[in-house]
Chains A and B, each alone.
Chain A
Amino acid sequence: MQDLKLCAQDKRGIHELEAGKDLIGWDEVTQGSVLPSFEGDASNVAHLKQEERCYSDFNSYTATVASWRVKKPVFNIDVCIDCQNCWVWCPDTSIISRDKQMLGIDYDHCKGCEVCVEVCPTNPKSLLMFAEQEDLETALSQWPEKKKKEK
Chain B
Amino acid sequence: MAEKFDLQEREVWDGNYAASQAMRQAKVDVMAAYPITPSTPIVENYGAYVANGYVDGEFVMVESEHAAMSACVGASAAGGRVATATSSQGFALMVEVLYQASGMRLPIVLNVVNRALASPLNVRGDHADMYLGRDSGWIQMDAFNSQEAYDLALCAFKIGENHSVRLPVMVHQDGFITSHTAQNVYPLTDEAAYNFVGEIDPVDDMLDFSRPVTYGAQTEEDWHFEHKAKQHKALMDSVPVIEDVFAEFEKVSGRKYKRVESYMMEDAEVAIVALGTTVETSRVAALRMREQGIKAGVVAPRVFRPFPFDEIRDALENVKSVAVLDRSSPGGAMGAFYNEVSAALYTTENRPLVTNYIYGLGGRDFAVKDAMDIFADQKANADAGHITTDIQQFSGLRGPKLGFFKTKRG
Which chain A residues have a beta carbon within 8 Å of chain B's beta carbons? 20, 23-27, 29, 31-38, 41-43, 45, 58
Flag if B106 contacts A32 (CB, 8 Å).
Answer: yes
Please provide the 3 A-B residue pairs with the shortest distance between their CB atoms, ordered closest to farther.
A32-B105, A26-B229, A26-B226
Chain B contacts with A in 53-104, Cβ cutoff 8 A:
103-104
Flag if A37 contacts B223 (CB, 8 Å).
Answer: no
Flag if A29 contacts B212 (CB, 8 Å).
Answer: no
**In the complex, A37→B230 CA distance in Å?**
21
**Contact flag A43-B222 (CB < 8 Å), given A31-B230, A33-B227, A34-B215:** no
Taking CB atoms, residues of chain A closer than 8 Å to B210 are 41-43
* B233 lies within 8 A of chain A by Cβ: yes
Flag if A35 contacts B213 (CB, 8 Å).
Answer: yes
**In the complex, A83→B225 CA distance in Å?**
48
Interface of A is mostly: loop
Residue of A nearest to B231 (CB): A32
Which chain B residues have a beta carbon within 8 Å of chain A's beta carbons? 103-106, 166, 203-204, 209-217, 219, 222-223, 225-227, 229-231, 233-234
Number of interchain pairs (Cβ within 8 Å)? 66
Flag if A33 contacts B104 (CB, 8 Å).
Answer: yes
Flag if A31 contacts B204 (CB, 8 Å).
Answer: yes
Flag if B211 contacts A42 (CB, 8 Å).
Answer: yes
**In the complex, A41→B212 CA distance in Å?**
10
Flag if B213 contacts A33 (CB, 8 Å).
Answer: no
**In the complex, A151→B246 CA distance in Å?**
85
Taking CB atoms, residues of chain A closer than 8 Å to B215 are 32, 34
**In the complex, A43→B215 CA distance in Å?**
18
Flag if B103 contacts A33 (CB, 8 Å).
Answer: yes
**A-B pairs with beta carbons under 8 Å apart, 16 shown:** A25-B226, A26-B227, A29-B227, A32-B104, A32-B166, A32-B215, A33-B103, A34-B213, A35-B217, A36-B204, A36-B211, A36-B214, A37-B213, A38-B211, A41-B211, A45-B212
**In the complex, A108→B231 CA distance in Å?**
34
**In the complex, A58→B234 CA distance in Å?**
23
Flag if A37 contacts B104 (CB, 8 Å).
Answer: no
Residue of B nearest to A20 (CB): B222
Residue of A nearest to B219 (CB): A33
Flag if B214 contacts A37 (CB, 8 Å).
Answer: yes
Taking CB atoms, residues of chain B closer than 8 Å to A20 are 222-223
**In the complex, A101→B65 CA distance in Å?**
51
**In the complex, A27→B229 CA distance in Å?**
9
Flag if A34 contacts B166 (CB, 8 Å).
Answer: no
**In the complex, A42→B215 CA distance in Å?**
17
**In the complex, A91→B134 CA distance in Å?**
44
Taking CB atoms, residues of chain B closer than 8 Å to A45 are 212
Flag if A35 contacts B226 (CB, 8 Å).
Answer: no
Residue of A nearest to B224 (CB): A33
Flag if B209 contacts A43 (CB, 8 Å).
Answer: yes
Flag if A29 contacts B209 (CB, 8 Å).
Answer: no
7 further A-B pairs in the complex, CB-CB below 8 A; given A27-B230, A34-B105, A45-B212: A24-B226, A26-B227, A29-B227, A32-B104, A32-B215, A35-B213, A42-B209
**In the complex, A37→B211 CA distance in Å?**
7
**In the complex, A34→B230 CA distance in Å?**
13
Flag if B226 contacts A32 (CB, 8 Å).
Answer: no
**In the complex, A20→B222 CA distance in Å?**
10
Measured between C-beta atoms, what is the minimum distance from A72 to chain B in Å?
Answer: 28
**In the complex, A83→B67 CA distance in Å?**
45
**In the complex, A94→B213 CA distance in Å?**
23
Residue of B nearest to A18 (CB): B222
Taking CB atoms, residues of chain B closer than 8 Å to A33 are 103-104, 216-217, 219, 223, 227
Taking CB atoms, residues of chain B closer than 8 Å to A41 are 210-211
**Contact flag A29-B166 (CB < 8 Å), given A36-B212, A37-B214, A42-B210:** no
**In the complex, A38→B105 CA distance in Å?**
21
Measured between C-beta atoms, what is the minimum distance from B34 to chain A in Å?
Answer: 25
Measured between C-beta atoms, what is the minimum distance from A55 to chain B in Å?
Answer: 11
Measured between C-beta atoms, what is the minimum distance from A98 to chain B in Å?
Answer: 23
A32, A37, A42: most-surrounded residue (chain B CB, <10 A): A32
**In the complex, A110→B349 CA distance in Å?**
66
**In the complex, A20→B105 CA distance in Å?**
23
Flag if B213 contacts A29 (CB, 8 Å).
Answer: no
Measured between C-beta atoms, what is the minimum distance from A38 to chain B in Å?
Answer: 7
Flag if B103 contacts A32 (CB, 8 Å).
Answer: yes
**In the complex, A34→B213 CA distance in Å?**
7
Taking CB atoms, residues of chain B closer than 8 Å to A43 are 209-210
Measured between C-beta atoms, what is the minimum distance from B240 to chain A in Å?
Answer: 18
Measured between C-beta atoms, what is the minimum distance from A84 to chain B in Å?
Answer: 26
Residue of B nearest to A25 (CB): B226
Measured between C-beta atoms, what is the minimum distance from A43 to chain B in Å?
Answer: 4
